Amino acid sequence: MLFIHSLNLKNEEALIKGCIKEDRIYQNQLYKSCAAKMLGVCMRYAKTKEDAEDILQEGFMQVFKNIRQFKNTGTLESWMKRIFINCALQKLRDRKNQYVFIEIDIIHEKYMIDHTVEQDIDAKILIRCIQNLPLVSRLVFNLYVFEGFKHREIAQMLKISEGTSKSNLFDARSNLKKQLKYYNLFFIKSAANG
């Protein structure tokens, strides 16, 4: 059930029980087992690695504080992922005065990234490109593409209109396509010269 291949269901249950008892050994094991994957989630929402690491630490504090609330109705991974996303969104809300949501009710036509470009892009480059997106576009893109939220849900979470959510997704995809084409051209030139 847990996304760590070395743990089976019985071990996961023991790990959860140990964390509920605030046993540092079990908490450390959960941290070591999940930190890399959860850092990847945090990196998609943060602008810098340092911000992502701050979100990661806050997320684990919330996981350990609220582990009693995990009810086995889904996977531990999805429960934890939701906590890390909420921590990332809260961190951005706390910086609310540093950015402005622009309400745009014009809905752009649906736009997709070319699969040929998408398939050739390294995960680190994709994360870097996502981090370069404007804040609202980055949030909408992550929530829609990676987390599977609908525009209605995103609008409620970010306190924007559905149209603004759709517009920001369009802008994010357009921006990513430009960035990825740049990286793709850079790598083609590098390969030809190297």
The answer to whether residue 46 is domain-embedded is yes
How confident is the model at residue 84, as a pLDDT?
Answer: 96
Q: Does 65 share its domain with 120?
A: no
Segments forming the whole domain that contains residue 131:
115-193
How confident is the model at residue 114, as a pLDDT?
Answer: 41
pLDDT digits (tens, 9 = 90+) for 128-143: 899 999 999 999 999 9
For the chain, percent of residues with pLDDT exceeding 70: 77
Q: Which residues contact 128 (CB under 8 A, 6 or more apart)?
A: none
pLDDT: which is higher, 6 or 181: 181
How confident is the model at residue 194, as a pLDDT?
Answer: 55
Gap between the Cα atoms of 90 and 55, Å rounded? 9
Distances (CA, A) of 151 to 35, 143, 145: 29, 9, 11
pLDDT: which is higher, 5 or 193: 193
Q: Look at residue 101 and give its three-state secondary structure.
A: coil
Q: Does 13 share its domain with 94?
A: yes
The answer to whether residue 109 is domain-embedded is no
Gap between the Cα atoms of 29 and 45, Å rounded? 25
Q: Please give the mean pLDDT across all residues of the chain.
A: 81
How confident is the model at residue 124, as a pLDDT?
Answer: 80
Domain count along the chain = 2
The answer to whether residue 93 is domain-embedded is yes
The answer to whether residue 103 is domain-embedded is no
- pLDDT (average), residues 31-45: 94
For the chain, percent of residues with pLDDT exceeding 90: 56
CA neighbours within 13 Å on the CB side: how many for 153? 8
Cβ-in-10-Å burial (0-12, 13-18, 19+) of 30 comes to buried
Q: What is the CATH number of the domain that holds 13?
A: 1.10.1740.10
The answer to whether residue 1 is domain-embedded is no
The answer to whether residue 123 is domain-embedded is yes
Q: Does 145 share its domain with 174?
A: yes
pLDDT digits (tens, 9 = 90+) for 54-103: 999 999 999 999 999 998 888 899 999 999 999 999 888 877 645 444 33
Q: Does 15 share its domain with 70?
A: yes
